[in-house]
Amino acid sequence: MKKFLVLGVLFILPLVAYLFFASGVHNFAKLPVLNDSVGDLQNFESNTKEQITFQNKITVLGFLGKDIYNKQGNAFNLNQKIYKKNHGFRDFQFVMVLPYGSEKSAKELLDELDDIADVSGWKFLFGTNESIETLFNSLKSPHQLDDNLATHYVYIIDKNGDLRGRDGTLKEDESKVYGYDASSVADLANVMTDDIKVILAEYRLALKKYKADRKDK
C-alpha cells in the first residue's frame, strides 16, 4: 500500500503542479490595458536631445516636478527596486517628466544615479506646465499632480502607448491599480515588481513566437 502511495505522489504531484502553473500562465500572461488613449511625448525635449517616444518601448513614466529634490528619494527607490533589475531588457526605459528650468537639477540627479547603475535607460523630458498637465490628464488616473507638477506615482506604458495596470478582477478585494507609489518601497517591491515581470514576460513570449513564425516561413 505504501509503495502505491509513494508512486502516486511521484506521478500525480508533478502533474498537479504542472496544471497549476500552466493555468497561472494562461490567466496572468498579460497585464490589463486600463487606458488606450494616453498622450504622446512630441511636445517635450529630452536631456539628450533625442526624440523619445512610447512606441516600441516599455516605459515607466514619472512626474518629478519643479522641486526635484523632494522626489529624489522616489528616484532612488525606483532605481534600486525596478530599474536595476530590468534595464538589461533592450526596449525598457524610464521617462521622467519635468518643467523647463529643471535641467540642472535633473542632471545632478542623473549623475548621482549613475554612481549606482548604468543610467542609459533613464530619460528626462522637459516641457511647459501646460504640456505636462495635458500628458498627465491623458492617463485618466485617479491621482493628481501637486503644485510643483509632481506626483509620487509612476505608470507603466506599453509599446503601443497604452496604460497598463491592474483592473481589479484578480482578487475580490483588489482595486484598480493605475500607478505605483514610488515613495513606498513595499509598493514597488510587492506590486510593481510583479507587474513589470508580467509585461516583460508578455513581450518576451511575443518575440519568441515572432521568431518561431519567421523560421516556419
For the chain (217 residues), the mean pLDDT of every run of 10, in chain order, is 52 44 46 96 93 96 94 95 92 96 95 90 97 98 97 97 90 81 96 95 75 57
Please check whether residue 23 lies inside any domain of the structure. no
User: Nearest to residue 113, comparing CAs of 168, 74, 66?
Assistant: 74
Please check whether residue 26 lies inside any domain of the structure. no
Please check whether residue 19 lies inside any domain of the structure. no
Please check whether residue 17 lies inside any domain of the structure. no
Please check whether residue 8 lies inside any domain of the structure. no
Q: Which amino acid is at 87?
A: H
Whole-model pTM over 0.85: no
Q: For residue 57, give its domain range.
A: 33-216
3-state SS class at 53: coil
Per-residue model confidence (pLDDT) at position 5: 54
| CATH number for the domain that contains residue 178 | 3.40.30.10
Please check whether residue 123 lies inside any domain of the structure. yes
Q: For residue 118, how far is the Cα from the chain centroid?
A: 18
Beta strand ranges found along the chain (DSSP E): 33-35, 45-46, 58-64, 92-99, 122-127, 150-157, 163-164, 180-181
CA separation (Å) from 64 to 56, 71, 158, 174, 197?
24, 6, 20, 28, 24
Residue 141 corresponds to which cell in the numbers above? 488616473
If one counts the domains in the chain, the total is 1
Please check whether residue 52 lies inside any domain of the structure. yes
The answer to whether 180 touches 154, Cβ cutoff 8 Å, is yes
Per-residue model confidence (pLDDT) at position 171: 66
Per-residue model confidence (pLDDT) at position 27: 42
Q: Count H helices, E strands: the chain?
A: 7, 8
Per-residue model confidence (pLDDT) at position 211: 58
Please check whether residue 172 lies inside any domain of the structure. yes
Per-residue model confidence (pLDDT) at position 187: 97
